Amino acid sequence: MPALHGWVITPNMKDVRCQECRSQMEVGFILDHTHGRPKVTVWHPGEPERSFWRGLRVADDKLREINVYRCKKCGLLRAYA
């Protein structure tokens, strides 16, 4: 499976611990089902600016896919982009 743009997991992020209960966290992502096509939710820098054509002005080259860790015990989420 090819690496996704902006998706970075360094070796020391393979044992991420929950800041609440110190349990192990597992990596995942937030699924975006807009327009019926599954996509990974992305992070965009800056504040949202309205655009007539697209709804929001989007700098496509600045987007980063968000990986989200979830604690297996308490469910706490922790996101990286």
Task: Report, in Å, the least distance between residue 69 CB and Zn ion.
Answer: 10
Q: What does the per-residue mask of binding to Zn ion show for 11-40, with x meaning CB under 5 A?
A: -------x-xx-x-----------------
Contacts of 33 (CB under 8 A, 6+ apart): 39
Residue 31 CB coordination number (10 Å): 9
Between residues 27 and 58, which has the closer beta carbon with respect to Zn ion? 27
CB under 5 A: which stretch of 5-13, 27-35, 48-56, 64-72 binds Zn ion?
Answer: 64-72
DSSP 43: E
The 3-state DSSP class for residue 59 equals: coil
